[in-house]
Copies of this chain bind each other. A is one copy, B any other.
């Protein structure tokens, strides 16, 4: 039985990954400090004998992996997902956010070296920052401010990629990196301030649905299950294939974008949300656009398609319906 560690395992994406790994026959250890994750995300599978949960911080992973802890035994696969990922969360404790990225990836790299394990490290489309090219492919270097209020997340994630790339070159660690574009689904944090959760929560409460600007700015929306499929497919590949593919494409380290390239305007998203909640009394209201709102963001996923034979398959309407169902049940409970 293969053993996997999922850092951030009680979070939105981490919990879906744990569930999937259990279904795939793994023994799974989830590590989470419950800063944005929650035990309720684990409820549907925490009773499984193949699952264990360690409440702790990835920053302290090296100190938590002592004898007797499930972290002390050998892992075959490590998935590093731990980091607050929405501005409302990551900006409230910026130094802690950057430390989570930096110490988190270093601890996971050490653990991967200890165990000879594969490591999947989750990076983000935010490494591209306020991108000057559209769509962004993996060769784009990004446009990021080092000293702004978003830097704690963006630069922490950027230097984590650097640590990964140099651990591959210097110590031959078997790492795969994924730059995740906007992803939604059940177990999103209801107060994370993102547009999907905002719209659904407003619609469920019958509040006005707030659109910033005229709603013509576009976004792409990846359903969580599609992303988890990509994680698993990437991790299944042999190290040699992962390395040679990166080299062939001129990349300094194995990294692929994952996201859904379908573009929707914010207004379309709001209207689709209301259409799925016909009983809602909410109406669309328009507010001034904040200065730093990007006009477009869309992933180029040609590399993931080629390397993984993967394609996002869940249509927005279907994923949105599942997400609404989740929020409806959560709010009742």
A94 at interface, CB cutoff 8 A: yes
Interface string of A68-100 (1 = CB under 8 A from B): 000000000000000000000000011100110
Cβ–Cβ contact A141 & B141, under 8 A: no
Shortest beta-carbon distance from A38 to chain B in Å: 25
Q: Which of B95, B127, B146 has a CB less than 8 Å from the CB of A170?
A: B95
Q: Which of B142, B143, B151, B159 has a CB less than 8 Å from the CB of A166?
A: B151
Cβ–Cβ contact A147 & B253, under 8 A: yes
Cβ–Cβ contact A155 & B158, under 8 A: yes
Cβ–Cβ contact B127 & A146, under 8 A: yes
Interface string of A150-170 (1 = CB under 8 A from B): 011001101101111111011
- Report how many copies the assembly holds: 2
**Docked complex Cα distance between A163 and B141 (Å):** 21
Cβ–Cβ contact A94 & B252, under 8 A: no
Total count of chain A residues near the partner, CB < 8 A: 39
Q: Which of A95-147 contact B (CB under 8 A)?
A: 95, 98-99, 102, 106, 127, 129-130, 141-147
Shortest beta-carbon distance from A51 to chain B in Å: 33
Cβ–Cβ contact A147 & B252, under 8 A: yes
A149 at interface, CB cutoff 8 A: yes
Q: Which of A29-61 contact B (CB under 8 A)?
A: none
Shortest beta-carbon distance from A93 to chain B in Å: 8
Shortest beta-carbon distance from A149 to chain B in Å: 7
| Chain A interface residues toward B at CB < 8 A | 93-95, 98-99, 102, 106, 127, 129-130, 141-149, 151-152, 155-156, 158-159, 161-167, 169-171, 251-253, 255
